[in-house]
Amino acid sequence: MSYETALRDEVHQRLDRIGQAGIMVGIPSYNNAGTIGHVVQQAAQGMVEHFPDLKPVLMNSDGGSPDGTMDVVRNTEALAGVEVVAGQYQGLPGKGSAFRAIFEAAEMLGVKACVVVDSDLRSVTPDWIRRLAGPIVHEGYDYVTPFYSRHKYDGTITNNIAYPMTRALYGVDVRQPIGGDFGFSGKLAKAYAGKDVWETNVARFGIDIWMTTTAINEGFRMAQTYLGAKIHDAKDPAAHLGPMFRQVVGSLFMLMTTYAERWQRVEEVQQAPILGEKLVAEPEPVNVTLSALIDKFKAGFEENADLWQQAMNDANFDAVAELAGLSQDAYGFPVDLWARVVFDFAVAYNHGIEGLTPDEMLDSMTGLYYGRTAGFVKTTWDMTTAQAEEVVNAQAKAFMRLKPYLVGRWNERP
């Protein structure tokens, strides 16, 4: 069933009664009763303290949490002057649908700026709201992405795919394209709300990459903003990231068809300006299990070798097959090979492989992502976060350097 709107009647009526607002913070949630109270307090305080001239609204867009998340929001104190809306969205279950309701609400209220922050954040402060909304309210930007200090093993989908692909495809260096905490203008919220993507992975964890890619390609002014450390309920990449990988990468690949004319012409990279005073912060360590990652890669090879062979060119497949035979000591996953593998799958996803659904392709690619993550972990094991950052940067450059390979394969349709 498809929905015309993500706003349920009761939420719509509540927004109608509020009428108009100047600034809004939207918080998506699903079972975050333990952490959302803090986020609500900080966000509300941030609006009141830093934007006293704008009428503030805080909206929690929940996925029907059985743990009482919305009650926590409604009962949180210290919100003098802030209108609080806690409601369930309708549509496909997922973070993207929750955001769709927030976009629609921002449009209805005619806000100048909207900020979204995750409900599992522990490092959010009122100052985050200033840093995310300030460039929109005062400097005419439409889209602001977070620039965090993250631990080297937090954000492995970002570092190994979302960041290098966004930079190489669209020529914009935006370090956290799927960071989850963003600021955007009312104008951009309206543009997002008007799109027809809510039956796709964009309704789930594809939302972040879609927001960033859309903002870049539809000419919205964008910037990054220093936020310090992102401390949240981070996940071990070996244990929890499979579905998120499919949804993010599926959306990223899908968008390559939408914007094919544009990315094929891009040869230069420009950094989106990083605004604000730098925040120095020590991120919390994220644990990874190297042996588990390598095992998952090898299991993926056992299970999907045929499919990998169909998706990849022969030389790439042979190189990957060789890696699957290595011991942990000898293991490594070269950056150039990884870039070509991602490009092979991007082409296979968009042009199709007979007898395979796009989701099956992404499922099988997860094993390769574990393989590259293991390679990254091995290379950076003894490195500081700053040194690991250089590895991420070099990898992004490799994607750009090898882009002609992608363009060539993209255009050799059967």
Ligand X SMILES: Nc1nc2c(ncn2[C@@H]2O[C@H](COP(=O)(O)OP(=O)(O)OP(=O)(O)O)[C@@H](O)[C@H]2O)c(=O)[nH]1
Instruction: Determine, following the binding rule CB under 5 A, whether residue 120 of this chain makes contact with Mg ion.
Output: yes
Interface with Mg ion includes 127 (CB under 5 A)? no
Strands 222-229 and 182-185: unpaired
Contact 373, 291 (CB under 8 A): no
Which bin fits 276, alpha (ψ -120 to 50), beta or left (φ > 0)?
left
Q: How far is the CB of 93 from Mg ion (least distance, A)?
A: 17
| Smallest distance from ligand X to CB 327, Å | 29
Q: Which does 63 bind (CB under 5 to 8 A by kind): ligand X, Mg ion, none?
A: ligand X
User: Which partner in Mg ion, ligand X, none is near 100 (CB below 5 to 8 A by kind)?
Assistant: none
* Smallest gap from residue 197 Cβ to Mg ion (A): 22
Does position 363 interact with Mg ion (CB under 5 A)? The reply is: no
Determine contact, residues 80/56, Cβ cutoff 8 Å. Answer: no
Q: How many CB atoms lie within 10 A of CB 276?
A: 18
Q: Does 181 bind Mg ion (CB under 5 A)?
A: no
181 binds ligand X (CB under 6 A): no
Q: Does 150 bind Mg ion (CB under 5 A)?
A: no
Q: How far from the centroid of its chain's Cα atoms is residue 410's Cα?
A: 25
CA angle 321, 322, 328 (to 5 degrees): 110
Q: Which of 232, 246, 340, 403 binds ligand X (CB under 6 A)?
A: 232
CA 106, CA 31: separation in Å to the nearest integer?
Answer: 24
Identify the three-state secondary structure at position 166: helix
| Residue whose beta carbon is closest to ligand X | 63
Contacting range for ligand X; rule: CB under 6 A; set: 9-17, 55-63, 263-271, 324-332: 55-63
Kindly determine how many residues on this chain lie close enough to bind ligand X according to the rule CB under 6 A: 20
Any contact of residue 232 with Mg ion (CB under 5 A)? yes
> Is residue 32 close enough to count as binding ligand X by CB under 6 A?
yes
Given a contact cutoff of 8 angstroms between Cβ atoms, the answer to whether 250 and 178 are in contact is: no
118 contacts ligand X (rule: CB under 6 A): yes
For residues 6 and 202, the answer to whether their CB atoms sit within 8 Å is no
**The entry of Mg ion, ligand X, none that residue 172 binds, CB within 5 to 8 Å by partner kind:** none
Q: Does residue 68 bind ligand X (CB under 6 A)? A: no
Least Å distance between CB 98 and ligand X?
Answer: 3
User: Which helix (H) or strand (E) is 15 found in, with range?
Assistant: helix 9-18
Closest to Mg ion by CB, 178 vs 365, is 178
Cα distance between the two ends of the chain: 35
Measured from the CB atom, the residue of 136 and 234 that comes closer to ligand X is 234
Residue 114's φ and ψ, nearest 5 degrees, are: -130, 140
Q: Where in 248-398 does DSSP place strands (E)?
A: 270-271, 274-275
Of these, 62, 142, 181, 363, which contacts ligand X (CB under 6 A)?
Answer: 62
Residue 136 binds to ligand X (criterion: CB under 6 A)? no
Q: Return the closest-CA partner of residue 146 out of 159, 133, 156.
A: 133
Give a three-class secondary structure readout of 146-190: EEEECCCCCCHHHHHHHHHHHHHHHCEECCCCCCCCEEEEHHHHH
Segment contacting Mg ion by CB under 5 A, of 5-13, 116-124, 312-320, 397-405: 116-124
Binding residues for ligand X (CB under 6 A): 28-30, 32, 61-63, 93-95, 98, 118-120, 180, 232, 234-235, 241, 244
